[in-house]
Chains A and B, each alone.
Chain A
């Protein structure tokens, strides 16, 4: 089954679970200067991101994801698109546009390994309320 990985700036390493979700699929990074301006990513950070991409098996294409991915998916006859999960509203907005343009394609958000695995969502009102719930797992390998 043909697939695509949209790698974004929050998941710049080769063992992110998004790659295991579609083994052997080359990833795409959309170099979108409008996104970078909107996300307040200055030049030094842009250079850091680009330098990090050079370590990865990734194709860097200039343009927004909503411009580039539908075109590629159509030409590639892709049926799946996997994306590293993120709370970033700007990336999620772009993903919504991509989804709208990719009718019939399964889009999957793939989570990274957690720091701690908690049974219930902790009280986030202040840090130490969270820490009191998370401390035991945080001090163990794997956070379990």
Chain B
């Protein structure tokens, strides 16, 4: 017996696998879902060859020193790891090959371990991925948070310049630096009081590396339903990490332009400030 699936065996016709260019591929996929193709091809190229090329370029030492900066030496491997094009094991092994002692790659490997950790939680409770693991520690209860994503957030037109810049990066490229994800998520949950589930679903729909475990549990960490306190930030922090291309002027980012103490009073008025500092 031929151990193969040949076209003749199917009434179901195999879909096209040869395309003149990436634009033709994008148009084909968009057509399958009755959607309009993106105006620009994604900067993240699918497939093993692209993944291996990206892996060869990683620098775990520089990553450790600069990873929190939006223009830092991040690897952009997340989409490949998310979809199994690369394994955490081979990325770790390659990272170890680039350093003289494992300690030099520890911060990088620890970030890989976060994904392993999220996956272990997901495996332990697959159906709990959309449920609050713990209560909010913001002085509010879950029912105080809105279910729907406001249109200004969905379109990147909040009027907060840096947040709008990050949202537009997400919408235009399908990728966002982790620190920018944290800023946007905290803005959605704590400044706008939207349920983390709403924001997490919106991220999943737009991120090429969108992973239910890493994404949702990170949103829960921001929200405080899987952390001891909520994550929030101020404009000074964005200015430190955002790089020269993001507008961090006070006048264009007024809701963020406060001290941490003042923000704690504004965002979490039911809590003593020491609870979130």
Contacts and interface: CB of A to CB of B under 8 A. Distances in A.
Interface of A: 2-4, 9-14, 16, 24-26, 28, 31, 33, 36, 39-55, 59-63, 68, 71-72, 75-77, 84, 87-89, 92, 112-116, 122, 124, 127, 130-131, 134-135, 138-143
A43 to B, nearest CB: 5
Main secondary structure of the interface of A (DSSP, over half): mixed
A127 to B, nearest CB: 5
A42 B44 contact: no
Interface of B: 1, 3-5, 9-15, 17, 19, 22, 25-26, 28-30, 32-33, 35, 37-38, 42, 44-49, 79, 82-90, 92-93, 96, 102-103, 105-106, 109-110, 112-117, 119-124, 126-127, 129, 174, 201, 204-208, 210, 212-213
Contacts of B127: 89
Contact of A72 (B9, B87, B93): B9
Contacts of B35: 43
B113 A41 contact: no
A61 B12 contact: yes
Given A24-B3, A115-B112, A124-B120, A48 B84 contact: no
A13 B120 contact: no
A47 B17 contact: no
Contacts of A143: 89, 92
A127 B49 contact: no
Given A84-B84, A88-B212, A47 B25 contact: yes
B102 A40 contact: no
Contacts of A47: 25-26, 29-30, 38, 42, 46
Contacts of B105: 139
Of B3, B123, B129, chain A has the most CB atoms within 10 Å of the CB of B3
A130 B120 CA distance: 10
A26 B46 contact: no
A48 B42 contact: yes
A76 to B, nearest CB: 7
B1 A50 contact: no
The 8 lowest CB-CB distance pairs between A and B, nearest first, are A51-B46, A44-B174, A40-B204, A52-B46, A115-B88, A139-B102, A11-B84, A55-B47
Contacts of B19: 54
Contact of A31 (B22, B32, B124): B32
